[in-house]
A = this chain, B = another copy of it.
Amino acid sequence: MHYGGDYNPEQWPEEVWLDDVRLMREANVTMVSLGIFAWSRIQRAEGVFDFEWLDRVIDLLHENGISVDLATATASPPPWATAAYPEMLPQDENGATYWPGSRQHFAPSSPVYRRLASELVTALAERYAQHPAVVLWHVNNEYGCHLHYDYSDNARDAFRVWLREKYGTMDALNEAWGTAFWSQLYGSFDEILPPRKAPYSRNPAGMVDFRRFTSDTLLSLYTMERDIIRAAGATQPITTNFMGAFPPADYAKWAAELDVISDDSYPDPNDPESFRNAAFARDLMRSLKPDVPWILMEQSSNAVNWRPSNAPKAPGQMAALSAQAVGRGADGILFFQWRQSRRGSEKFHSAMVPHAGEHTRTRREVVDLGRTLAALPQLPVGRRDARVALLFDWENWWAIQNPDHPVVLDYAVLVQRWYNALHRQHLQVDIVRPADDLSQYSVIVGPQLYLLTDAAAENVAAFVERGGHLLVSAFSDVVDETDAFLEGGFLTRLGDTLGVRVDDFGALVAPSLVVGASSAGEIAAAVGGGGPGQAHATLDSPAGPIVGTYFAEEVRVVDAEVLGSFTDGRTAGSPALTVRSTGAGRGYYLGTIPDDAGMTALTGWVAREAGVEPVLAGLGEFVEAARRGDVLTLINHGGDTVTVDVTGTDLLSGQAVTSVTLGSFDWVMLRTP
């Protein structure tokens, strides 16, 4: 179990380093991430490296028994680099340059950046590959974080190469992108541009390809560095830190290239439900590489600095969220950062050593957590604990991000809301792609499977054939991987499994346009005058009445049982929820998207129909339960003390228990029978 944080000794005089290691030892720190933003300190000019200070730091840590997660330091090019090679700077879609002065100001496709980064990583890897303190390599930092997309000429040139490799011929590209529409037939790859500012909506297939290209380009930066490190003889595991469900990088594709998954996580203390967002991210990370425990690479000891209002964490809240990570598969808890900075953009970000000093609550909680984690035994990997899978797919996300759809949707928010419905019911969930191996699951929840490949559709259908219970919501099986409608209408691939087709999506007024008083004027502006129209559609169902939003589809039943019909609005009386049985398998189709209560009611009913049990029965909705092999973690995220009847052995005390009492933010890990 790693414990530690980002360590930036270059910000401090050497006498502070000695204090640092003393404080690290007091806090049971085992590993620090070193040098993430040290490029300009390591390399003061092209070809001129200064490693001596870094040698001293690493040796000092090693002498004190602290391991190093060594960063490649490529996340922020030094001023000399961008002054000499301004062509490496990225640009936005309006052609405005992102200048230096902050961080991560490089075009991922830039040949100059790639050369300079390679030279740095080569020097670092050759120097430290064999250093005994180094136990992990930390490539770059939060790839793509502030700058999701680059539209510079770097990107233009690289996009053309990527397209040429993907499509080979112009005919193939023209067909895939549907360029016969709007007079967009290309004669040459050299005519293609990134989706820069245009008078109106840009080619949607091209948009999805540009997002694929961007993810692949960022990933190629990672593999470039990784290969240099390996070529230098390093044998330690290599990672780069993820950021949860991060839009521009398809982590599900990236995961295969990482030896261990690591994640940065900053749930908002102002949001009493944000622990569910954190739980989603933990489950996603675990699911990305289920055989290797992941690392929580960054969290904050207390407040962050980048929201409009940065609330402190409540007493115990940091430890509770740490326990959540461990309970959901992490074998490392690290922080940004070790010592709070005195200068720079993040000086108000809390740290393991607060600026206000050692006597603070934050410092006490950090020391306590270090002691606690050190006392934990080795935990099982927990490979096959979930019987429910929630489908989450970056390519689908990217396609849904396109405009010109029946109604604006936020894919990530909707997936999170389905997750919350399951989490609230203490159902253990994996987060997987529709084409992944589904054999361990009994229930699959598939929210708006808009972009679906043939292979994914077959995989999901086979899941039902094998006896699984599948719940698919509206706006699914609409397009193939080129964002094109399939011949024959909608639900052409899943339609046989579900027994229905969709004739019309029946868009409702989006909840974002009606929820909240702020939207009155926006609705008028957006929908054009006297509006709005219908925003909800209620349906009856075996799980009770459900309020639908976004869509009230015209569902055409081909071979399915109608479980519920719309009871109001334009589609009153028509099918809303259907099921088709295939042996023990069930294919449920819901022609709308429920509100939160509806998501909970429906998923609970489906899980019960499928015989899937919660991790622990009878828990309140602010008590979290997670299973990791035979270890059960219980966390009280609410304000009231609760007592839970449960049998097991407390991992920390070694005591057998039949019930546990948890105050606010208390948690316990039990080995259970």
Interface residue? A77 (CB, 8 A): yes
- The interface residues of chain B lying within 8 Å CB-to-CB of A22 are none
Binds B, one of A190-198, A370-378, A463-471: A190-198
Q: For A483, list chain B residues within 8 Å (CB).
A: 343
A522 at the interface (CB under 8 A from B): yes
Q: Determine if A238 is an interface residue (Cβ-Cβ < 8 Å).
A: no
Label chain A's interface by main secondary structure: loop
Which of B182, B187, B357, B485 interacts with A76 by CB under 8 Å?
Answer: B182
Stretch at the interface among A161-169, A200-208, A220-228, A256-264: A200-208
Complex formed: what's the CA distance from A362 to B203 in Å? 26
A residues 192-250 in Cβ contact with B at 8 Å: 192-193, 195-206
Residues from chain B with a CB closer than 8 A to the CB of A182 are 37, 76, 102-103, 344-345
Q: Is A659 in contact with chain B by the CB < 8 A criterion?
A: no
- B94 contacts A96, C-beta separation under 8 Å: yes
Min distance, Cβ A446 to any Cβ of chain B, angstroms:
21
Known: A41-B185, A355-B489. Contact between A198 and B101, CB under 8 A? yes
**Is A405 among interface residues, defined by CB-CB distance under 8 A?**
yes
Query: Which stretch, A110-118, A265-273, A425-433, A646-654, touches the partner chain B?
Result: A265-273
Let me know if A99 and B407 touch, CB within 8 A. no
Closest Cβ–Cβ distance, residue A516 to chain B (whole Å):
4
Residues A98 and B513 in contact in the complex (CB < 8 Å), given A187-B44, A342-B485, A531-B268: no
In residues 291-350 of chain A, which contact B (Cβ within 8 Å)?
Answer: 302-303, 305-312, 314, 340-349
| One of A60-68, A121-129, A390-398, A503-511 at the interface | A503-511
Least CB distance from A550 to B in Å reads 9
> Which residues of chain B come closer than 8 Å to A403, judged between CB atoms?
306, 345
In whole Å, how far is A429's beta carbon from the nearest beta carbon of chain B? 18
Complex Cα gap A44–B180 (Å): 12
Q: Which of B183, B198, B314, B482 contacts A343 (CB 8 A)?
A: B482
Which residue of B96, B406, B503 is within 8 Å of A303 (Cβ)?
A: B406
Tell me how many residues of A have a C-beta within 8 Å of chain B: 148
Interface centre among A95, A104, A182, A308, by most chain B C-beta atoms within 10 angstroms, is: A182
CB distance from A474 to the nearest CB of B (A): 14
Knowing A41-B185, A99-B193, A404-B305 are in contact, say whether A312-B507 is a contact too (CB < 8 A): yes
Binds B, one of A78-86, A560-568, A604-612, A626-634: A78-86
Task: Give every chain B residue within 8 A of A488 (Cβ-Cβ).
Answer: 357
**Cβ A193 vs Cβ B308 within 8 A:** no
Closest to A74 in B: B183
Q: A203-B345, A310-B407, A361-B554 are in contact. List 11 more A-B contacts (CB 8 A).
A: A10-B180, A76-B183, A94-B94, A101-B203, A181-B345, A182-B344, A270-B509, A270-B533, A271-B529, A311-B507, A517-B520
